[in-house]
Amino acid sequence: LLLVRNELPAPGLRLAARSGSCHQCLYQFLAFVPPSNGSLTKTGTASVMVDTQHPLTLMLNSSVGDTQLCKIQYHFGEFGNYSLVVKALTANTETVSCDLIINQDPINSYFPILFAFLVYMGILAVLIVGRLFMKIDPVRNWVYKKLNPRETDRLINSELGSPNTTDSINCDPAPHSWSTASRQRLHSLDTFRGLSLVIMVFVNYGGGKYWFFKHESWNDISQLHFPSALFSRFVFIMGTSIALSLSSMLRWGSSKWKVLRKILWRSFLLILLGIIVVNPNYCLKPLSWDNLRIPGVLQRLGFTYLVVAALELLFTRAESATWEAPYPALQDILPYWPQWIFILMLEVIWLCLTFLLPVPDCPRGYLGPGGIGDFGKYPNCTGGAAGYIDRLLVGEKHIYQHPSSTVTYQTTMPYDPEGILGTINSIVMAFLGLQAGKITLFYKDQHKQIMSRFVIWSILMGTISAILTKCSKEEGFIPINKNLWSISYVTTTGCFAFILLLLIYYLVDVKKLWSGAPFFYPGMNSILVYIGHEVFENYFPFKWKMQDSQSHAEHLTQNLTATTLWVLISYLLYRRRIFWKI
């Protein structure tokens, strides 16, 4: 709460503000503060609620002549009580002072996070002690007899067909040699997927209503603001899984036509489920076709999967075929040069449409949010070509109506972050994940080779990002933007995805210092967890009526409880060998 006290006899004051997260934005009027009219006991006052997420720049202008009297930049704290006192320093009121006073200190809104961290660390300590007990032979034998994990792994691998981590890509694919090998999944992939999914569920449920668990309004700094990178990591690991699963199915003798039919069916189901999930009229009223949202997360995953999996299937080589690479260091790249040409062509299409497509009443190549951004010059240009293509091909009523830019930039145009143009770059992201999968196939049981190549790819992606963004949030050639799925967003999140996969691969599959729990379990049932958390979002025990809707502690408790429940559900399903695959 900000109370503005005007001790000037005349004139009145106009209070306006601009958020520090709003790039090149117009000041927004907050309140009119009446004059004191010469009274020493009764000053003109006005009270306003101010944003605490980002620093604010407050500007006080005279209501007569719009003369600027003072400007203050300050980062207000949550539930603080402040006064802004405006008074004259000279008799003729030519010199004015604006003093900010703290009437009531803001609360420490981060204490609930610290408490939650300590609780989960306590649970982790209990689990570690339990693991130490598992080293006692009688205890371990009894637990293994009850859980029977080998049968569980046998079922998983027989259904999903992950390749053996110790097999060579060029080894004899005879059924006998394959069946005698110990077929094990790369647990690091499921752990990576589960980690991304669990954080995504927590963020979607509200993230305790903390601003840093929300998506950025427009341009972002990606990995320093990690909610914006979660979906891209999910797309990345999907590409990795494509490389492994297709290799396994073809190794087991499935024809390409049979695999293609499975790809088409799976893509269709993902798109269909996505349309159902993003239009949640389950118990309210019949769904209206007039405002049915068509794009969405699962829809993008389905189409991305279709393109990347079909591309890999089309150009994959039989394992009996050999290809002499002139550069052995590029043996996981050069044999697939047609795929790279296709991906580069897609990226050229994205660049041409983004920067060359004429958009009515908007500058060519516009990448901004519209609204009050860019000093209000292009209020109806949200997303530039990306938004225009969606509104033209899909229709304004069939895309997302409340984009993240609405609050900060006060945009009025609908814009879908899972739109058509951005899907091109999600295909590129999945293709980078596909490359990670090929690396694990080509260099199986060669951990140093795999990890070194992950590092090389990470450096390459990071270098491209540095060039495209000029290492800045707003001033680069192509800013990092999750709403647009800009190519710099893909290279930046791809850079950190390779690093994260490297770390998890080293801990889980190389050194076996970590089993991947608890993230491994939701990673095994990712589709079920994602759809389930969307469908049951507003049902108990995932949500309940809170006593104080402004309390971070209550929101955090509710969101962490809901997220933990989905982890427990996935664990129970794993124990019962139930895996929902489409």
Taking only the tens place, the pLDDT of each residue in 465-505 is: 999 999 988 889 999 999 999 999 999 999 999 999 999 99
Q: What pLDDT shows up at residue 329? A: 72
Last residue of a domain, one of 66, 89, 104: 104
Residue 356, number of CB atoms within 10 A of its CB: 10
Q: Which among 44, 78, 104 is the end of a domain?
A: 104
Q: Is residue 553 part of a domain?
A: yes
List, in sequence order, every residue forming a beta bridge with 88; answer none if it has no partner.
96
pLDDT tops 50 at residue 87: yes
Residue reference for tokens 């209990």? 126
Residues 94 and 214 in one domain: no
Q: Are 377 and 402 in contact (CB under 8 A)?
A: no
Average pLDDT over every residue of 289-293? 85
| Averaged pLDDT of the chain | 87
| Listed residue (2, 106, 104) closest to 56, CA to CA | 2
Q: For residue 223, what pLDDT is reported?
A: 47
Q: What are phi and psi of 247, to 5 degrees?
A: -60, -40
The amino acid sitting at 470 is K
Inside any domain, residue 528 = yes
Position 176 confidence tier, pLDDT thresholds 50, 70, 90: very low
Q: How far is CA 349 from the centre of its chain?
A: 24
Q: Is the pLDDT of residue 319 over 80?
A: no
Same-domain status, 242 and 371: yes
Helix (H/G/I), strand (E/B), else coil: 9: coil
Report how far residue 460's alpha carbon sits from residue 45's, in angstroms, rounded to the nearest whole number.
57
Contacts of 541 (CB under 8 A, 6+ apart): 561, 562, 565
Q: Which helix (H) or strand (E) holds 538?
A: none
Backbone phi, psi, residue 13, to 5°: -120, 150
| Alpha-carbon dihedral sign for residues 484, 490, 491, 494 | positive
Q: What tokens appear for 511 in the block?
A: 């050194």
The encoded tokens of residue 279 equal 């239009």
Residue 572 has what DSSP assignment?
H
Return the higher-pLDDT residue of 264 and 142: 264
Q: What local confidence, expressed as pLDDT, does residue 120 receive? A: 94
Mapping DSSP onto H, E and C, the string for 341-358 reads: HHHHHHHHHHHHHHHHCC
At residue 170, does pLDDT exceed 60? no
Residue-wise pLDDT for 20-43, tens only, equals 889 999 999 999 999 887 666 678
Residue 516 CB neighbour total at 10 angstroms: 21
- The answer to whether residues 436 and 340 belong to one domain is yes
Kindly state whether residues 407 and 541 are assigned to the same domain.
Answer: yes
Residue 149, pLDDT > 60, answer no
- Position 316 scores a pLDDT of 80
From 93-107, 296-310, 341-355, 547-561, the region with the lowest mean pLDDT: 93-107
68 and 200, same domain (yes or no): no
Q: Percent of the chain having pLDDT more than 90?
A: 63
- pLDDT (0 to 100) of residue 184: 58
Q: In the beta sheet, which residues pair with residue 103?
A: none
Both 371 and 466 in one domain: the answer is yes
Task: Give me the catalytic one of 23, 75, 176, 215.
Answer: 215
Q: Is the peptide bond before 163 cis (omega within 30 degrees of 0)?
A: no
Tell me, yes or no, whether 290 and 429 share the same domain.
Answer: yes
Question: Environment class of residue 502 by beta-carbon count within 10 Å: exposed (0-12), middle (13-18) or buried (19+)?
Answer: buried
pLDDT score, position 284? 58
In the predicted structure, residue 80 carries a pLDDT above the cut 70: yes
215 is catalytic: yes
The pair of structure tokens assigned to 263 is: 């790809």
Domain boundary pick from 63, 78, 104:
104
Instruction: Inform me whether the pLDDT recorded for 154 exceeds 60.
Output: no
Q: Specify whether the CB–CB gap between 325 and 335 falls below 8 A.
A: yes
Instruction: Note the pLDDT of residue 239.
Output: 96
Please tell me the predicted confidence (pLDDT) of residue 225.
Answer: 54
Q: Are residues 88 and 196 in the same domain?
A: no
- Asked if residue 506 is part of any domain, the answer here is yes
> Which range marks the domain in which residue 282 is found?
187-317+331-576
pLDDT tens, position by position, 510-541: 999 998 989 999 999 999 999 999 999 999 99
Whether 262 maps to a domain, the answer reads: yes
Residue 157 has pLDDT above 70, yes or no: no
Distance between CA atoms of 491 and 468, rounded to whole angstroms? 9
Return d(Cα 398, Cα 289) in angstroms, integer: 9
Q: b/e string for 142-168 if b means 16 or more Cβ within 10 A?
A: eeeeeeeeeebeeebbeebbbbbbebe
The answer, yes or no, to whether the previous bond of 541 is cis (omega within 30 of 0) is yes
Same domain, 266 and 395: yes
User: What DSSP character marks residue 73?
Assistant: E
Neighbours of 9 (CB within 10 A): 14
157 occurs within a structural domain: no
536 contacts 277 by C-beta, under 8 angstroms: no
pLDDT digits (tens, 9 = 90+) for 370-387: 999 999 999 999 999 999
d(CA 200, CA 181): 36
Asked if the structure places residue 518 within a domain, the reply is yes
Question: pLDDT digits over 202-252, tens only?
Answer: 999 999 999 888 888 888 764 445 667 889 999 999 999 999 999 989 888
Dist. CA 106–CA 14, nearest whole Å: 26
Closest of 515, 339, 494 to residue 432, by C-alpha = 494
* Order of all β-strands in the sheet with 44-48: 44-48, 2-6, 81-88, 96-104
CA distance 232 to 429: 7
Number of neighbouring beta carbons within 10 Å of residue 100: 13
Tell me, yes or no, whether 178 lies in a domain: no
For the cut 50, the answer to whether the pLDDT of residue 290 exceeds it is yes
What percent helix, strand, coil does the chain show, rounded to 5?
A: 55, 10, 40
Provide the 10 A C-beta neighbour count for residue 459. Answer: 13
Q: Is pLDDT above 70 for 168?
A: no
Give the percent of the chain with pLDDT over 70. Answer: 87
In this predicted structure, what is the pLDDT of residue 431? 97
How far is residue 225's CA from residue 223's CA, in Å, rounded to a whole number? 5
C-alpha pair distances (Å), 322 with each of 169, 171, 174, 360? 10, 11, 16, 53
85 and 191 co-located in one domain: no
> Which range scores top for mean pLDDT: 55-59, 147-151, 323-327?
55-59
386: closest CA among 410, 422, 362? Answer: 422
Contacts of 5 (CB under 8 A, 6+ apart): 33, 43, 44, 45, 83, 84, 85, 86
* Secondary element (H or E) of residue 22: none
Q: Indicate whether this model's pTM tops 0.75.
A: yes
Q: Report how far apart the first and last C-alpha atoms of the chain are (Å, whole number).
A: 51
User: Which residue, among 21, 101, 16, has the nearest Cα to 53 in the 3D structure?
Assistant: 21
Token representation of residue 337: 């040069």
| 95 lies in the same domain as 238 | no
Amino acid 133: pLDDT: 82
Instruction: Provide the domain count of the chain.
Output: 2
Say what the alpha-carbon torsion angle 300, 430, 321, 341 is, to the nearest 10 degrees: 90
CATH number at residue 85: 2.60.40
pLDDT of 350 > 90? The answer is: yes
Give yes or no: residues 427 and 566 share one domain.
yes
The confidence score (pLDDT) of residue 326 equals 67
| Confidence at residue 311, expressed as pLDDT on a 0 to 100 scale | 95
292 φ, ψ to 5°?
A: -70, 120
Q: Is residue 125 part of a domain?
A: no
What are the tens digits of pLDDT across the range 91-133? 666 678 899 999 999 999 999 999 999 999 999 999 888 888 8
